Amino acid sequence: MSFNHIVVQNILRDKSTYISYFLSSVFSILVFFLFSTVAFHPMMAKVDTESTLGITMLLASLFIYIFSFVFIIYSLFAFLKKKTKTFGVFMMTGASMRQIRKMVFRENMLVASAAIITAIAFGLVIAPLFLMIAKKILRAESFGMYVPIQSILLTIVLFALLFLVVSKFMTRLIKKEEIVQLLKADITQEKLIAPAPFKLILFIIVSVFLLISIKKEMNWVKSFEMVWYFALFASLLLAIYFTITQGTLLAILVWKRRPSYLRKTNMLFVSNLKAKGRSHAHIIYLLTVLLLGIFVCTSVLYSSYYNVKKKTEVLYPYSFQYISLPDNAPNVERNITFIEATLDKAGKYDAYYSAFKTDEEHRIGFMSVSNFNELGQHKPITLSDNEYYVAAGNEDVRPNTEAIHDYPFGDLKYAGLEEQNILSTGLQNIYYIVPDEVYKTIDYPVYKVFAYELNNWTNNINVAKTILSEVPTDPDMHLMTSKIDLYDSEKFVKSIMFFIGFMLSLIFTSAAISILYFYLQTSLEGEKEKYAGIRKIGLSVKDLASVVTKELATLIFIPFTIAAFSLFVAMFCMRNFISFAFYQLTAIGLGIFLLLFVISFFIIRRGYLNKLVN
């Protein structure tokens, strides 16, 4: 019998272990391959690789690869732990450490080769459907199937190198003494959770301090911005870890003192939780972090995608805004005639004609109350002869309501504030609305305003392209803006961001499912022997189902609850920066995930119970 034959037979004899490792690897490779298929699509050639969007695509690809690297290392650790007895048997039959390492290396490379080929083959089959979905998300005009040679070669090279490095490195960690210890794992009690309340308090205090420093924009944060954010991320992860471990320990202590501890199977469940508390806490922590990643990717990115229209309208109130500067008089009639003729062909629209005078040095605009009321995106106002009104000029910047007193307009009294931009953001820092008689006395250059609001404007990108190509902005003559053009650009960027978030959610979900599956598979043999012994002294199948149900519910729903609670706490802290729609979308997303988790719980419970009983 050749050595390679032993390797193949070893894989075939323990198919369940290898299949789980194989499938998790396939999914990681598949996600990367599909993402790279989109990233290298000819349509994406118009994305500048040095732009923010191009860099984001590159970083997303790198992140998916790095996460796959870490995840495959974890999968291999779980795989090696499951193969403990096999290594021990080979060692007892005379196999050397070099032969064991060689066998593990070849097994991994064989599984890796099969996983890479399977992932690419399956990816090519579903790529047309995936590209159709990508076309819908990215709103691309053409996003058809092509032969992704670059994606295939990149996937083969990167993942072959990844598996080669991981397999070679991991086999070097296998030592004879460790195999002996692992061989005794079934009779070796797991270490209990160590009390660490001071560590928990310390990392909570550090996290709160870092968060407050960032929110208050302290000077030391600006000096070490990237380091500060990395420290915050690390401290939050450690705070969550110690919260889970110490929370598990506290729950065990509290439960043992409750009267319900002696009822039904509670004592067995709590004792089992105490014995496996450390490994349970680690799995709960990993699942919590992954679920937080999933929730953030889905809710935040989809919310930003969903709010593009509202955000655009805040920045640019009108479908088209033409501002004629003082030296533009000869061209105004020609440009306006072209704009309105084009809009007449597009459909119904509303036209607004106004004007304002501006202190160009300070970029402060002055508008008569009549001209203000001529604009259509706000309620009309009335002013007394000694009153003034203030309107915002920049998004999210509260205007100075008192600067008007620096001008010789008499003793005017403040009458109110319009917080929403009345014209395109950044055109002026602030607008002061004054009585018509006061406006006539102001000696500043006059800017004429021609604003148009087109019905069903989100579906008229071609109209915007036509007008902007013929009447582009000329800084010395006129200024031209269109919320349709801005909406289209922002929608494209948000679509790609949403697509990246969707891909990350897929790989996070795959990792969460695989981690739970590996954990249950690794402990299955020991659990079968334990429950078989307990059943001999009177534990019924119903009692076994009760204990297993509680344990699986702990592993599945506790991470979900912690992740959801953490997300809502973060949303509450940022309540002044997010809209009500974000809460709605987050609640809907969590509801969908909860339904999926409930379905998964019953499927996992049924399969796991069958394996324990049979």
Say yes or no: 15 and 163 in one domain.
yes
Q: Is residue 216 part of a domain?
A: no
Determine the pLDDT at residue 73.
74
- The confidence band for 118, taking pLDDT boundaries of 50, 70 and 90, is very high
**Local structure of 384: helix, strand or coil:** coil
Between the CA of residue 404 and those of 162, 388, 434, 594, what are the distances in Å? 65, 9, 10, 55
pLDDT at 188 over 60: no
Q: Buried b vs exposed e over 158-185: b needs ≥16 C-beta within 10 Å?
A: bbeebbeebbeebbeeeeeeebeebbee
Q: Is residue 86 part of a domain?
A: yes
Q: Is residue 253 part of a domain?
A: no
Alpha carbon 517 to its chain centroid, in Å, reads: 24
Residue whose pair of structure tokens reads 């403040």 in the numeric block: 414
d(CA 236, CA 215): 16
pLDDT at 180 over 60: no
- Give me the percent of the chain exceeding a pLDDT of 70: 81
Long-range contacts of 585-593, Cβ-Cβ distance < 8 Å, separation of 24 or more: 585/299, 585/302, 585/303, 585/306, 586/295, 586/299, 586/303, 589/295, 589/298, 589/299, 589/302, 590/295, 590/299, 590/564, 593/291, 593/294, 593/295, 593/298, 593/560
**Local structure of 313: helix, strand or coil:** helix
* Number of separate domains in the chain: 3
Q: Is residue 234 part of a domain?
A: no
Say yes or no: 388 and 464 in one domain.
yes
Between the CA of residue 15 and those of 10, 11, 23, 504, what are the distances in Å? 9, 6, 12, 29
Determine the pLDDT at residue 432.
92
Say yes or no: 337 and 401 in one domain.
yes
Say yes or no: 70 and 109 in one domain.
yes
For 95-115, write each residue's pLDDT tens digit: 666 777 777 777 778 888 888
Give the number of C-alpha atoms closer than 13 A to the C-alpha of residue 219, restricted to the C-beta side: 0
Q: Is residue 102 part of a domain?
A: yes
3-state helix, strand and coil shares in percent for the chain, rounded to the nearest 5:
70, 10, 20
For 401-451, write each residue's pLDDT tens digit: 888 888 888 888 988 888 888 888 888 889 999 999 889 888 888 999 999
Say yes or no: 325 and 455 in one domain.
yes
Of 136, 157, 188, which residue constitutes the final position of a domain?
188
Q: Is residue 205 part of a domain?
A: no
pLDDT at 461 over 70: yes
Q: Is residue 11 part of a domain?
A: yes
Determine the pLDDT at residue 175.
57
The conformational region for residue 174 under phi > 0 = left, psi -120 to 50 = alpha, else beta, is beta
Structure tokens at 592: 């969908």
Task: Output phi, psi for 359, to 5 deg.
Answer: -85, 95
Cβ atoms within 10 Å, residue 341: 9
Task: Output phi, psi for 230, to 5 deg.
Answer: -65, -40
Domain residues for the domain of 448 are 317-481
Structure tokens at 203: 């990392």
d(CA 55, CA 41): 16
Say yes or no: 508 and 567 in one domain.
yes
Structure tokens at 269: 């469940």
Between the CA of residue 398 and those of 215, 393, 426, what are the distances in Å? 19, 9, 13
Bridge partners (DSSP) of residue 478 are: 324, 474
Residues 6+ apart with CB under 8 A from 304: 494, 497, 498
Residue whose pair of structure tokens reads 């009549």 in the numeric block: 370
Cβ atoms within 10 Å, residue 436: 12
Of 188, 204, 230, which residue constitutes the final position of a domain?
188
- The confidence band for 117, taking pLDDT boundaries of 50, 70 and 90, is very high
Q: Is residue 605 part of a domain?
A: yes
Say yes or no: 556 and 413 in one domain.
no
Say yes or no: 140 and 79 in one domain.
yes
Say yes or no: 287 and 369 in one domain.
no
Say yes or no: 267 and 144 in one domain.
no
For 231-288, write each residue's pLDDT tens digit: 778 888 888 888 888 888 888 888 888 887 777 777 888 887 787 878 888 888 888 9
For 493, counting Cβ atoms within 10 Å of its Cβ (0-12 exposed, 13-18 middle, 19+ buried), the class is: middle
pLDDT at 360 over 70: yes
Say yes or no: 181 and 90 in one domain.
yes
d(CA 167, CA 101): 9
d(CA 366, CA 390): 10
Of 436, 459, 481, which residue constitutes the final position of a domain?
481
Tallying the residues shown for the chain, one arrives at 614
Say yes or no: 446 and 500 in one domain.
no
d(CA 475, CA 480): 9
d(CA 217, CA 222): 7
User: Residue 158: in which H helix or E strand, if any?
Assistant: helix 149-173
Determine the pLDDT at residue 44.
67
d(CA 208, CA 529): 46
Task: Output phi, psi for 217, to 5 deg.
Answer: 55, 55
Determine the pLDDT at residue 376.
79
Cβ atoms within 10 Å, residue 472: 9
Residue whose pair of structure tokens reads 């599956």 in the numeric block: 517
Q: Are 590 and 564 in contact, with CB atoms under 8 Å apart?
A: yes
Indicate the average pLDDT of the chain: 79
